[in-house]
Amino acid sequence: MKEIVFNQVCKSYDQNQVVKNLNMKVEGGERLILLGPSGCGKSTTLRMIAGLEDITSGDLYLGDKRVNDVESGDRNVSMVFQNYALYPHMTVRQNISYALKVNKFPSDEINSRTSEAIRMLDLTGLEERKPKELSGGQRQRVALARAIVKRADYFLLDEPLSNLDAQLRAYARKELVKIHEQYHQTFVYVTHDQIEAMTVGQKIALMNEGTLQAFDTPQNIYKKPANVFTAKFIGSPPANVVEASYDAGYLYIEGAKMKLPDAWCKVVGSRNRLYFGIRPEDIHLTRAPKDKDYAMKALVRYVENYGNQLGVYFQVKGMEMLAICEDAAPMPGENVYFEPDFDKIHLFDIETTNNLGYPKKLQ
């Protein structure tokens, strides 16, 4: 019903292609996060759904209707802008009710929807204030209230929390989920913050340079990154991904070698060059490895204290990597063994950078 379907959608400005062949289906009532670094095309994608940007080629469907040529006002979407876009000369109540009035809703309907939104977003007592008399958090809630009174099927948010400080942001995230659970709109949310993506999203679409990199649940995106970009973008600190080579059961990094478990050797198949990835928290650095064959010699360069954890920068031959240790980290200059948790490593194709998959028993 309320799904969004992208079919080969492209967007270019002059010669510059900002969204490339986007194919994606957002289920009705789902919370989708559009995530990616700045300039990746995520905001453009959102604005195409909103009808604020033309689609250069391809088809966009809202429900079963192709909307390429439908005016923004006729798309049944509502949107929260990064700068909130509140009307500065109107009070909170006028901001929320203005569009309903212009579109000639009956006045008791306007009043009940406005009051409900004011109550829900905790704006009681602020109804007659102008936006400039409100705090950042309050403004953000007014923008949300204004967007929900329309009861649109599609709820679009463009970095709605990026102007709030960290504490407010955590609170506002919960608020957003609460709103969604009340109205069950199809939710499309643009952010560059992966914590927001993980906590708010039911699905994440990760974009880079106009291309969809991964489209999956937050869980899967973190645990089974679809490609090198995803592995490096998701997680803080990001995953280590290094070039490696494979030969007869052994994995080589810059001349250092270790055995690869048989199950992984099947995944590698006939390749002899690949990318090896592992998250910092899945690395053991130890003086005494369980099995020296399945470990590499490493040199500790530098240790960072994060408070509850320690970040250890180490080198395997020339290749620098980062490990997270809970306690008892080795000292800089110390020679240790790098021992990966083989249940949690990721291998990627050297050409396509796509994930090679995982051994049967891990799946």
Partner 1 sequence: MKIDKKQWLYQILFAAITIVLLFPIIFAISNSFKTLEEATNHIWRFIPAAPTLENYRHVFERLPFVRITMNTFLIAFTVTVFKSLTSILAAYAFVFLDFKGKGSLYFVLISTMFIPFTVTMIPNYITVSALGLNDNIWGVALPQLSDALGIFLLRQSMRTVPKSLIEVARMEKIGHARIIRDILLPLVKPAVVSTGIIFFINSWNEYVWPVLILKSKENYTLSLALQMFISSEGGTDFTVAMAVSVTTMIVPLILYMIFQKYIINTFALSGVKG
Partner 2 sequence: MKKRKLKEQILATCLILPSLIVFTIFMFWPLARTVYLSFFDWNMIKPVKKFVGFQNYVTLLTDDLTYKVLGNTLLYIAILLVINFVFPYILSFILSFLMRKGKGFYKTAFFLPSVISLVVGSILYVWILNPVTGPIAKILVHFGIVLPIWSKSEGLVIWILSLVTSWKVFGYNFIIVLSGVMGVPQEVIEAAKIDHVSNYRIFTQIILPMSSATGIYVFIITIVQGLQYVFTPIKVVTQGGPNYASSNLIYQTYHEAFYMYRTGVASAFSVLSMVLFVGLLVLEFKYVEKGVYYEN
Binding site for partner 2 (CB under 8 A): 54, 68-71
- Residue 241 corresponds to which tokens in the numbers above? 């991904």
The set of residues, in sequence order, having a beta carbon less than 8 Å from that of 244 and lying 6+ positions away, is: 251, 252, 253, 273, 274, 275, 276
Spatial distance between the Cα atoms of 317 and 320, rounded to a whole number of angstroms:
8
Q: Which does residue 342 touch among partner 2, partner 1, none (CB within 5 to 8 A, set by kind)?
A: none
Please pick, from the candidates 40, 44, 46, 51, the single residue that binds partner 1 as defined by CB under 8 A: 51
Q: Is 233 helix (H, G, I), strand (E, B) or coil?
A: helix
Q: Which does residue 333 touch among partner 1, partner 2, none (CB within 5 to 8 A, set by kind)?
A: none
- How near is the Cβ of 248 to partner 2 at its closest, in Å? 58
Contact, 287 vs 295, CB < 8 A? no
CA-nearest of 49, 42, 57, 144 to 92 is 144
Q: Which does residue 123 touch among partner 2, partner 1, none (CB within 5 to 8 A, set by kind)?
A: none
- Residue 323 corresponds to which tokens in the numbers above? 């490990």
Q: Which does residue 68 touch among partner 1, partner 2, none (CB within 5 to 8 A, set by kind)?
A: partner 2
Smaller CB distance to partner 1: residue 69 or 262?
Answer: 69
Q: Per CB under 8 A, which region of 98-106, 165-173, 188-196, 289-297 contacts partner 1? A: 98-106
- Residue 353 corresponds to which tokens in the numbers above? 């950078």
Smaller CB distance to partner 2: residue 68 or 115?
Answer: 68
- For the chain, what is the radius of gyration of the CA atoms? 25
Spatial distance between the Cα atoms of 200 and 202, rounded to a whole number of angstroms:
7
Region of residue 249 (phi > 0: left; psi between -120 and 50: alpha; otherwise: beta): left
Q: Which does residue 79 touch among partner 1, partner 2, none (CB within 5 to 8 A, set by kind)?
A: partner 1
Please pick, from the candidates 64, 69, 71, 181, the single residue that binds partner 1 as defined by CB under 8 A: 71
Smaller CB distance to partner 2: residue 76 or 94?
Answer: 76
Q: Is 262 helix (H, G, I), strand (E, B) or coil?
A: helix
- How near is the Cβ of 81 to partner 1 at its closest, in Å? 4
Residues at the site binding partner 1, with contacts judged by CB under 8 A: 50-52, 71-75, 77-79, 81-83, 85, 87-89, 98-99, 102-103, 146, 150
